[in-house]
Amino acid sequence: MQSMPDKPRLVEIEIRFNPKLILEYMTSRNGFWRHASFLLVTLFWISTAFGLQLSLPTVFPSWPWLPAAWGTAYLATRRGPVCAMASAFATGLALDAICFQPLGPSSIILVLIALAARLFSARIPWQKFFITNTLALAIGSTAIFVIGKAFFCRPAATLETDFALLPKFLFGGALLSLPVCFLTYSVKDIIEGLLFQSIDDTVAASEE
């Protein structure tokens, strides 16, 4: 009999309901808990980013707060590519919707921030170079956000006024971003470490 290498082979798969496995998934720390808390914490970081972006200026009007950009850069480096871009898109969408702006421009700017942060972190990972990485993310995200907002989200403004507002937000924002990012990224990393570090990882680390 001749063999037929080009013909696809059929594989028979039997799906069975396995109560023990499901129970293990629902109760183990690496199962449902991990996935649910991961989603909730990500949603919380996104909400905090756009919420504070709009609330802080009313309380401290003279400070150039840009938590949406800083929060997006954080999520971009600590999450997978799809989650990073989705959270950047959602943050931008919320910013535009709440500010009665056309939907889209803020999302594009924040997605660009997320992409830049991911490409940078691929070369200099935050796990090894926390200080350098945080420094670059803080300044880079501030610069992209301010330039993007100034040039693409102000249809009635002139180039002159755009250039006039850049120094305050570029230099002021960059200066403010350094302490804020170091503090918030550290706190967030500690919280995520406590919530998401699996028991297996802890045991492996202690054995080493």
Which residues contact another protein by CB under 8 A? 47-48, 50-52, 54-61, 64-66, 80-82, 84-86, 88-89, 92-94, 96-105, 107-108, 111-112, 114-115, 118-119, 122, 145-146, 149-150, 153-154, 156-165, 167-169
Q: How far is the CB of 122 from another protein (least distance, A)?
A: 6
The CA distance from 181 to 177, in Å, is 6
For tokens 């800083």, the residue is 70
Q: How far is the CB of 31 from another protein (least distance, A)?
A: 25
Q: How far is the CB of 108 from another protein (least distance, A)?
A: 5
Instruction: Give the orientation angle of helix 32-59 with respect to helix 19-27, to 10 degrees.
Output: 30
Q: Confirm if 68 and 139 have CB atoms less than 8 A apart.
A: no
Q: How far is the CB of 182 from another protein (least distance, A)?
A: 18
Q: How far is the CB of 135 from another protein (least distance, A)?
A: 21
Q: How far is the CB of 101 from another protein (least distance, A)?
A: 8
The CA distance from 47 to 8, in Å, is 48
Which residue from 28, 67, 17 is spatially nearest to 47, judged by alpha carbons? Answer: 67
If the CB atoms of residues 145 and 185 are measured against another protein, the closer one turns out to be 145
Q: Assign residue 180 a region (left: φ > 0; alpha: ψ between -120 and 50; beta: otherwise).
A: alpha
The CA distance from 72 to 151, in Å, is 20
DSSP 46-85: HHHHHHHHHHHHHHSTTS---HHHHHHHHHHHHS-HHHHH
